[in-house]
Structure 1
């Protein structure tokens, strides 16, 4: 069975639509651990010589953020791995980061389109994906 997939993605969630001859399936994948804004913990303002011990180093917070994103992107990739054609869209950097991750997994050749769009409902996403694959026939 030939499957085509499209998805809307940002750093918080992905809406994946798989289209086959039998119809379509919509799935939502949530990024549980990723925060949009990395925040420092502790009282503010911190005083004393122990501030560096109370606030995680920026590079360790960035490594944690990147690690969580990689887990999230791997879950998204697992849901679209069998698709012969993939279209990706969304508002920010996540769509390009996902494309690079797909290329790293030797799936980059299946990406047939990337587009910047703002927030959409699940129905709008499904309609846009259907329209994209109907026009590309």
Structure 2
């Protein structure tokens, strides 16, 4: 969510990242695995990391011009995003990182308004 002179602007950047990449190939219940049909764990991890990098790059491109950045959410991604912002010389714009549960758009807007009202 961006707060501008025109008001609040909500944008959603959809992640195509699979939480836990699955091995392809036969199921143990349907038949035997053959080693050449099952990708190596490091290959799955590289794919997962590559997809994450694409996602974080999209998020950073969207917020690059922000004066202040508040990061919040339920998982570990917020810390990874902060790290990526620091790598892109944007870490100084991060005004806070908070752990919160899933929120509606209205709750997000209220949280952001409250944060920036307090910081002024």
**Short-chain TM bin:** over 0.9
Query: TM-score normalized by structure 1?
Result: 0.82
Tell me if 1:120 matches 2:106. Answer: no
> After the TM superposition, which residues 13-52 of structure 1 pair with which residues of structure 2 at under 5 Å, given as runs?
17-32=1-16, 34-45=17-28, 46-47=31-32, 51-52=34-35
Match for 1:55 among 19, 38, 59? 38
Secondary structure of residue in 2 paired with 1:89: strand
Gaps (5+ residues) in structure 2? none
> How far did 1:43 drift?
1.5
RMSD: 1.2
Which structure 1 residue ranges, 4+ long, deviate > 2 Å from structure 2? none
- Structure number having the greater strand percentage: 1
Deviations 1:11-63 (A, max 9, x none): xxxxxx1112221111000012x111221112222536xx2211111111101
Tell me if 1:66 matches 2:70. Answer: no
Query: TM-score normalized by structure 2?
Result: 0.93
> When the two structures are aligned, how many residues end up with a matched partner?
118
